[in-house]
Structure 1
Amino acid sequence: MTAADGVQRPHRPVLVDRPAPVDRPAPVDRPAPVDRPAVPARPVGSGVHRGRFASEARLYGYAVLLSCASAFVMLRLWRADWGVPFQYASDAQGSAAHFVTTIETGWYEFQPRLGFPYGQHYHDFPFSDDLHLVMAKVMGWVTGGNWAVAFNGYFVLTFPLAAAGAVWFLRQCRLSGPTAVVMAVLFAAAPYHLQRNEGHLFLSGIYLLPVAMVLVLRVVRGEPLWGRRTRTTDGTVARVRSVLTGRGAGTVVILGLLVSSGVYYAVFVLILLAVAAPVSLAGHRSWSRFGGAVSVGVVGLIWFAAAQLPDLLYARTHGSNGAALARGTGDAQRYALHILGMLLPAQDHPIPVLGQLRVWFTDRYPPSGGYASLGLIGAIGFLVLLGIGLARMMRASQRPVRPGSRADTLGALAGLALVATLIATTGGLGLAISIVTPAMRAWYRMIIVITLLAQAGFGLALESWAAKLRRRTAARRRVRDSPPPRGRSVRGGSFGSSSVRSCVLLLSTLTLLIGVADQSLRLAVQTPGTVASFRSDAAFFARVEGSLPAGAAVFQLPYRPYPESSAINDTTESDQLRGLLHTRQLRFSGAGIKGRPQTDWLAEVVALPTGEFLGDIAVVGFSGVIVDRRATLDDGASLTAPLVGPLGQPTVVSDDGRFVFFPLGAVGSEAAARMTPEQRHARSLRITHGAG
C-alpha cells in the first residue's frame, strides 16, 4: 500500500470477527493397514468379456432371424415349390448345372454328360467361384442329392449370411446394435441381391463383401491389418506382429474366401484398398500402415494366382482356348452405372407407378447397368454421404475430427462411396481397367458396395441426429433444474434419454419396415409359369430317357455355341442344359465349352445334308435328336421337316410343345452295320477331332 507521502507501507489485513472454535473429538487410533495381495488383471475370458461377446452374439442372432423373416416375405416362400428352382431361365440354368455336376461328380470342372463325346471341361472358361461350389456339395449332402432343393436352399441361405457379415462391418462403423441390425437386414435384402437371384446365384453370395470391406475401413482409419493383441500378466495390452495368428491370420483368410467367392467382389475391394492406402498415408503419416495395406494387395494377388492355377495348368497341357471367354470392348460402357438410375426405384418395384418410372428411364437411357438401384434407404444414405463429402471438400477450414468418431467414419464412408461411384459409372475409371482386361466389364455390380456404404451412412446419420437430440435434451434438463433468472420463465418440457432411445428404436423399426416394403421386388418371386415349364421339361426328358438304353446320347438342335452365344426368340444357349437337369444318365451334344475342335465340330455337322448329318451323328454314337422349337424363328419347322422323312414322326413331344424327340432307329443301326468297330472309331475321330 502506498501512503500519501508516496512511501509504500506493508499491507495490514482487516480483522474480522470469527466464531469461536468448536471442540472436536480427539482422533481415534486406527489399526495399520494390512498388506493385501494385488488384484490380478482380469483375464481375456472373464465374465465382462463373455458378457460382451454374448451381447454381440445376440445382435448377429437378431440379424439372422430378421433377414430370414424378410426373405420369407419378399420371396413368398409360403407358396413356393422347393422342388422347382425359383428361376428357370438363362443363367439360372447354368448355375443349376454346376450344382448338378458337383453333386453327381464331386466337383464342377468336368461334366461327362455334356458336349458328348468330349465332355464339358470348365477349365476352358476361367471360373474362380469355388466357395459356392463347396456350398453346393454341402447343400447336396443336406438335401440327399436333390439339386433343386439344394439350389433354392443356398439362395435363401445367402440372406442370413449376408446379414451376419454386414453386422460386423456396421459395428466396425460404430453403429449401435439396433441400427446395425436394421441396416444389415436391409443390406441382405438389397435390390441388387434380389435382382441377381438364382440367375446369378454366385453373385448373390454377397456375404463376404462386407467382411472384406472391414479391411478397407481399417486402412482408411490407419488401423493395423496384421498382428494380434495379447494381454500380459500386469493387465496391459501389447501387439505381437504375426501373419499366422490373430488379426493377420484373419486378413489372409478373409482375402482367400473373398477371392474364392467371386472375382468381381475381390477386384472391387482391392481397388478400394489401392485408393485408401495412399490416402491413409497422407492423413496418418504411417509408413508401416501403408506397407501393411500394400501387403494386403500382394496377398490378394497371390490368392488370385492360386485360384487360377488349375486353369493355367490345364491350358499349358491342352493349349489355351481364347475363344471360350471372348468379351467385347464396349461391354464396360453397356454394363456401367447411372447415378440417376441408382437413385430411382428398382425394376419391378412393388408399387406399379414407381416400377413404370424405372421402365421409362431404362427405355430412354440404357445401358443395362441402369437396372441397378440402391433402394429408398440406400438412396437417402448415398445423398447424405455425397453431401458430407461435398461439404468437406468445399469447407476452407475444418474442425479437427477425433479419429474413430462418428464424424470421422462418415467422412471415410463418403470418400469410399465417391471413389466407388467414380469407378463404376458410365465413362468412369473402370473403363480404363476394362481396356486392359475386357473380362472385367460389369461395373454396375459395384452397386452392392455403394449400397453397403450408403446404408451405413444412413445409420450413422440417424444416430448423429439422435445424439444431437440427446444433447439438447440434457441442456434442457439443466435449464429446467436450475433456478430461472428473475423475471424470466422456462418454457418447454424435458425429453428424457429413455424417450430418446425409444424414439430411435421406433425410427429404426419404421426404417426396417419401409426398407423391406420398398425392396420387395416382384421379379424375385417364383411364378406359376416357371413351375409349369419345369414340370413340362421334367416329364419330357423322363420319357426320352425311359425310351433309350442307359447312358445313351442325344443330339440337340439347333446348335448353339456355349457359353455366351446370341439369344434367339427369348431363349439362350443355357437352355441346352435342361436335359442335364432332368436326367440321371442321358448324355447330350450341347454345352461343351466352345473354342476347341472337340466341341466346334457340331457347327460343321449340322450344316451337312440331312442324310449325311444323321449318318455322322450315328457313327459318333448318338441315339436320337431333340429339337427345341422355341429356339428357332419358325417354331422349329425348318429343323423338324427334314427329319420326318428319314426318321418319321417324333415319338415324344413335351406337354408345352416346345421339345420333340426323334429316335435314330434304323438309321443308327445301318450306320453301325456298314463299319467294323475299328472303322467306326476312326470315322468318329475324324468327325469330332478332324484327325484319323
Structure 2
Amino acid sequence: MSTPQTLPEDLRDPSEPTAAAAPSATEPTAAAPAAAERAPSRRRTIALELAWAAGAAAVALAGAALTLRLWRAHLNVPFSGGGDVMLALMTVKNMETGGWTQFGAGLGAPFGQDLAAYPSSVGDLWHLLTLKLLSLVLSPAATVNVFFVGGFAVIALFAYAALRSLTVSRPLACALAAVYSWLPYHFLRGESHLFLSAYYAVPVAVALAVALYAGRVDVWRSPRRWRVREWGVIVSAVLVAGTGLYYAVFSVVLVVAAGLLAAIAHRSWRPALTAGVHTGTVLVVLALAALPNLLYEPEPGSGFAIDGRSYGATEFYGLKIANLLLPLGRHRIAELGSLRGATVDSPIPGEGSETLGALGALGLVIAVVALLVPIGARAVAPLLARLRALGALTVVMVLAATVAGLNSVLAALGFAELRAWNRASVVVAFLALAALGLTLDALLTRVTRERARRTAAAVTVAAAGLVGAVGLYDQTSDAMVPDYAGTAFGWNRDIDYFREVEAKLGSEAMVFNLPYAPFPEHPPIVNMADYSHLRGYIHSNLSWSYGGVKGQEAEWQPTALGDGITAALPRLVAAGFDAVYVNRLGYADRGAAIEAEIRAETGSTRPVVNYDATLATYDLRAYGERLRKADALPDPDSVLEGPRLVIGEGVYGVEEVDGTRWNWAEQQFQVGITNPGDEDARIRLTGEIVVASPGAEVAFHVAGRTTAVVAGADGTAKLDLTVSVPAESLVEVDVSTDSMPTPGSPGDVRSLYVRLVELDVAPA
C-alpha cells in the first residue's frame, strides 16, 4: 500500500491540518486533550470564517456604493425608469395586488393578465420569493433597488465560501469575492436584467464541479457517510434551479462535464452518476416551479411565440473570447477603452457585458496555461494539479458557450430558446478569479516563507487589499453611475400625471392604450420604448388594456383597431373602456392624426396631458353615454370574441412606421385564424405580401387546399383568402415561398423572407 502524499508546506490549504499535527494512534494519552480542544477550535474557525465572509460582503457593498454613488439615489425611485426595469416593477406590483407575479388584474383589460402562457420566470423561484418578502414592507421601486444593491453582498458571501472550499486563503478569498461581485456584467445588467444580476449561485456550482472533477464527491456511498460535499450536490442543484434558468443550465454543463471526465480518469461510472443526480434534481425543481405553466391549457386558437429565438440569434448572442479579454469600452484609462472601440463594427458584437477585467483576464490565462503545460517540477506540481481542474472546466464552458460552439449545435437540434450563451462569462470569471487566487497564495507563501508569522499575514492582507483596489478601479467607471436626478424627475411627474387621470376617471375605470403594443418583448414603436405602457399600471389603480400576453385573449385589440380608430371607438366603449390613453411617442406625427380623429368622433377637446405633452388621456364616458342612448353600441361579445389572427412559428413581432404595421416571416411559417364564437364562420385573411424576388410564389396551405400568390415586378402582391373556421376552434395556415431572402440590417439575426403588411382577419 502506498503512503498518502502531503502537499509542500507553501502550497497546502491553510485550513487543512498537517501530518505532524494529526493525532497518533500510538499516543492514547493525547487523545482526550485533543478531543477536548477540538470543539472550541472548530467554533473559533467558524467564527473566523463568518467574520471574513461578512467582511467580503461589507467590502462588496462599499465598492458598489462608491461606484453607483448611492448617496445620490432615492429609495422609492428605480435607478433607471424605462425598458425592462418596468417589467421588474410590474412583477412586484402584481405581487402586491394579486399575491403573486402570475396575475395582474390591472393589465390586459377587460380580461386581466395571466402569465401562464409566458414562462419568463421559470428558474427564478428564489428571486421571486425574495421580491415577495421585500414587497411586504417596501414599494415596488424600493423592492427592486434593495434587491439589486443587496445582490452585491449576497454574491460576495457565496463567492467567499466557494473560494475557501477551493483552498484560497481568507484574505484573498475576501478580496476576490468582492471583485467577483463587481464584475462589469453586474453593473451593466443592472435593474433592467434584475435576475441576471443576481448570479450568486454560480460560485457554488463551480465549487461542486471542481470537487467532482477531483473525485472528492460520491453520492452513491451510504447516506450515513455523506459529508458536506455530498449534501452540496443536492443543495447546489436546488439553489441554481431557483436562481436563473441560464445559470441552472451552465451549472448542469459544468457538473456533467466534471462527472464524465472524472469517470474516465477513475474508470468508474460513480462520478457520472453523481452528476446525474445533480442534473436530475435541477430538472425536478425547475419542473415544480413551472407547474402553473405546464398545467396551463390555452383556449382554442391561443398561441405564443417569443421572437428572436433561432440558430442565428444563438450565434449573435454567443460568447466571444475577445469580449472576455478586452477591457471596458468606457474604461477609466482612455487608451484601454479604445481597444474595445475597435470591435464596434463586428456583425456579432454580443451584449457588451462579458469583460472579465484585468484580474479575470490574468486568471483565465493562468487556468488555461496550467491545463496545457505538462506537470514538471515537483515544487509546483500540487499547484498545477489544482489549477488544471479550473482550466479544464474553463475550456468546457468556453467550448459550450462560444460563438458557433456547442450551443449552436444545441440550437440546430431544436434548443434555440436558450440563446444568450455570452452570459456564461460569469462562470468563466469565477473560474479565472479562483485560479488567480490560488496562484497568488502560492507566490505569497514563497515570498514570506522566511518572515515572521505576523509579517507574512500583514503582507498577505496588503496584497489582498491591492487586489481589491485594482479590481474596483479596473472593472468600474463613472459611466456606470445612474442618472438619479433625471429619473427621479420623470418618475415624480408620472406619479402626478396618473394620479390626476385616476382622480378624474375613478379608480375602477378601464383605459385603452394607444398605440397597440403586443406584450411581451416587442421592438420600439417609433420613439416609444418597449414596456412604456406599464407606466400607468405602476403609478395608478386603474385597469389598462396593455399587458395581455400576445397570442391569448388580448389579440382582440388589433382586430378591433383594424379599420381605424373612428370605427374602433364604439367597440372600445362596448368592451367597457372609459378612456383612451395615447402615448404620442408611438406616432411619427406625435399622435396628431389619431387624436384629431378621436376628438372628431367623441367631441372631447380637453384631454389630460402630462408635463412634457407626450401623454394624453381622453375621457370616453360622455361619448359612451350618447351611444347607449342612441342604441349605437355593438355587442360586446362581437368585439371581444370575434375572429382573430394568431401569429405562429416563423413569424416575427409587429413593426410599425407612420401607421403602417407589418410582420417579417421566415421562408416557411405559420399563422392561425381562430373563431371563438359558437357558430361556424367564413373568415377573410387580407393584407399585402412583400418578397425580395419579383415573380416569386407565396403558397398558403389550409385544409388540404393550396392557394398561391404571385409577387409582381415590385415584389408585392395582394392577399385575400377566405377560410372556413368551425366554432370555437383554430385553423392553421401553413405558408412557404420560393423567394430569395431580404437582406437584413447589420446585427439583425432574423431570417427575412416575407413581409406581411397589415395582415388582418374579418368575417367574410
State the partner residue of 1:349. 331
> Residues 154 and 499 from structure 1, CA distance in 2 versus in 1: closer, same or farther, beyond 3 angstroms?
same
The yes-or-no answer on 1:240 pairing with 2:218 is no
**Alignment-mate amino acid for residue 552 of structure 1:** A
Pairwise CA distance, 1:325:
6.4
Quote the Cα distance in structure 2 between the aligned partners of 1:204 and 1:415.
26
SS in 2 for 1:544: helix
Gapped runs of 5+ residues in structure 2? Answer: 1-27, 645-674, 679-764
Counterparts of 1:574-585 in structure 2 under 5 Å? Answer: 574-583=531-540, 585=541
SS in 1 for 2:578: strand
Quote the Cα distance in structure 2 between the aligned partners of 1:274 and 1:319.
40
* 551, 557, 579: which one aligns with 1:602: 557
- Residues 106-160 of structure 1, C-alpha deviations (whole Å, 9 max, x = no match): 10011111111122111111131122111111111232xx111111011111110
Pairwise CA distance, 1:455:
1.1
State the partner residue of 1:141. 136
**Alignment-mate amino acid for residue 441 of structure 2:** E
> Residues 315 and 345 from structure 1, CA distance in 2 versus in 1: closer, same or farther, beyond 3 angstroms?
farther
SS in 2 for 1:330: helix
> Residues 668 and 82 from structure 1, CA distance in 2 versus in 1: closer, same or farther, beyond 3 angstroms?
same
Which one has the bigger helix percentage? 1
Quote the Cα distance in structure 1 between the aligned partners of 2:623 and 2:38.
77
State the partner residue of 1:519. 475
Counterparts of 1:420-439 in structure 2 under 5 Å? Answer: 420-435=397-412, 436-439=414-417
* 307, 310, 316: which one aligns with 1:328: 310
Quote the Cα distance in structure 2 between the aligned partners of 1:302 and 1:677.
51
Which one has the bigger strand percentage? 2
State the partner residue of 1:55. 48
Q: Is the 8 A contact 2:206 2:431 kept in 1?
A: no
SS in 2 for 1:46: helix
SS in 2 for 1:408: helix
Q: Is the 8 A contact 2:240 2:282 kept in 1?
A: no
**Alignment-mate amino acid for residue 626 of structure 1:** Y
Counterparts of 1:62-77 in structure 2 under 5 Å? Answer: 62-77=55-70
> Residues 280 and 681 from structure 1, CA distance in 2 versus in 1: closer, same or farther, beyond 3 angstroms?
same
Q: Is the 8 A contact 1:68 1:160 kept in 2?
A: yes
The yes-or-no answer on 1:408 pairing with 2:390 is no
> Residues 172 and 401 from structure 1, CA distance in 2 versus in 1: closer, same or farther, beyond 3 angstroms?
farther
Q: Is the 8 A contact 2:583 2:615 kept in 1?
A: yes
SS in 2 for 1:42: helix
Quote the Cα distance in structure 2 between the aligned partners of 1:61 and 1:166.
12
Q: Is the 8 A contact 1:336 1:367 kept in 2?
A: no
* 395, 408, 432: which one aligns with 1:418: 395
- Residues 423-464 of structure 1, C-alpha deviations (whole Å, 9 max, x = no match): 222111111122321111001100111111111111112112
* 337, 344, 350: which one aligns with 1:362: 344
> Residues 43 and 549 from structure 1, CA distance in 2 versus in 1: closer, same or farther, beyond 3 angstroms?
farther
* 410, 418, 427: which one aligns with 1:440: 418
**Alignment-mate amino acid for residue 394 of structure 2:** A
Pairwise CA RMSD:
2.8
- Residues 648-682 of structure 1, C-alpha deviations (whole Å, 9 max, x = no match): 33421111222111111332213344559995466
* 121, 130, 135: which one aligns with 2:125: 130
The yes-or-no answer on 1:573 pairing with 2:530 is yes
Quote the Cα distance in structure 1 between the aligned partners of 2:158 and 2:371.
26
Greater CA drift, 182-191 or 45-54: 45-54
**Alignment-mate amino acid for residue 240 of structure 1:** R
* 519, 526, 529: which one aligns with 1:562: 519
**Alignment-mate amino acid for residue 57 of structure 1:** L
- Residues 534-582 of structure 1, C-alpha deviations (whole Å, 9 max, x = no match): 2222222111111112221111111111111222345433111111111
Pairwise CA distance, 1:77:
0.4
Greater CA drift, 311-320 or 295-304: 311-320
> Residues 322 and 63 from structure 1, CA distance in 2 versus in 1: closer, same or farther, beyond 3 angstroms?
same
Q: Is the 8 A contact 1:337 1:370 kept in 2?
A: no
Counterparts of 1:263-412 in structure 2 under 5 Å? Answer: 263-315=245-297, 321-324=303-306, 327-364=309-346, 366-391=348-373, 395=374, 398=376, 405-412=382-389
Greater CA drift, 151-160 or 372-381: 372-381
Pairwise CA distance, 1:602:
1.1
- Residues 570-605 of structure 1, C-alpha deviations (whole Å, 9 max, x = no match): 54331111111111x201111211012x11111112
State the partner residue of 1:11. none
Identity %: 30
State the partner residue of 1:466. 444
Quote the Cα distance in structure 2 between the aligned partners of 1:499 and 1:37.
32
State the partner residue of 1:222. 215
SS in 1 for 2:558: helix
State the partner residue of 1:5. none
Greater CA drift, 324-333 or 92-101: 324-333
State the partner residue of 1:457. 435
State the partner residue of 1:192. 185
Quote the Cα distance in structure 2 between the aligned partners of 1:438 and 1:105.
33
Q: Is the 8 A contact 1:335 1:368 kept in 2?
A: yes
Quote the Cα distance in structure 2 between the aligned partners of 1:420 and 1:37.
49
Pairwise CA distance, 1:500:
4.0
Pairwise CA distance, 1:351:
4.1
SS in 2 for 1:369: coil
> Residues 680 and 303 from structure 1, CA distance in 2 versus in 1: closer, same or farther, beyond 3 angstroms?
closer
Quote the Cα distance in structure 2 between the aligned partners of 1:654 and 1:255.
49
> Residues 577 and 522 from structure 1, CA distance in 2 versus in 1: closer, same or farther, beyond 3 angstroms?
farther
Q: Is the 8 A contact 1:101 1:107 kept in 2?
A: yes
Quote the Cα distance in structure 1 between the aligned partners of 2:401 and 2:379.
30
**Alignment-mate amino acid for residue 502 of structure 2:** E
Q: Is the 8 A contact 2:318 2:402 kept in 1?
A: yes
Greater CA drift, 77-86 or 298-307: 298-307
* 661, 667, 675: which one aligns with 2:617: 661
Quote the Cα distance in structure 2 between the aligned partners of 1:387 and 1:36.
49
Structure-1-length-normalised TM-score: 0.83
* 182, 195, 209: which one aligns with 2:175: 182
Counterparts of 1:101-180 in structure 2 under 5 Å? Answer: 101-126=94-119, 127-128=121-122, 129-143=124-138, 146-180=139-173
Q: Is the 8 A contact 1:102 1:133 kept in 2?
A: no
* 507, 519, 529: which one aligns with 1:550: 507
State the partner residue of 2:82. 89
Pairwise CA distance, 1:335:
0.7
SS in 2 for 1:264: helix
Quote the Cα distance in structure 1 between the aligned partners of 2:57 and 2:90.
29
Higher RCO (Cα < 8 Å, 6 or more apart)? 1
Structure number with larger C-alpha Rg: 1
State the partner residue of 2:722. none
State the partner residue of 1:491. none
Pairwise CA distance, 1:498:
4.5
Q: Is the 8 A contact 1:347 1:371 kept in 2?
A: no
State the partner residue of 1:488. none
Gapped runs of 5+ residues in structure 1? Answer: 1-34, 229-237, 475-494
SS in 1 for 2:427: helix
State the partner residue of 2:7. none
Q: Is the 8 A contact 2:85 2:191 kept in 1?
A: yes
Q: Is the 8 A contact 1:629 1:636 kept in 2?
A: yes
The yes-or-no answer on 1:620 pairing with 2:575 is yes
**Alignment-mate amino acid for residue 264 of structure 2:** A
> Residues 354 and 631 from structure 1, CA distance in 2 versus in 1: closer, same or farther, beyond 3 angstroms?
farther
Pairwise CA distance, 1:334:
1.1
SS in 2 for 1:566: coil
State the partner residue of 2:749. none
Pairwise CA distance, 1:518:
1.7
Quote the Cα distance in structure 2 between the aligned partners of 1:44 and 1:601.
74
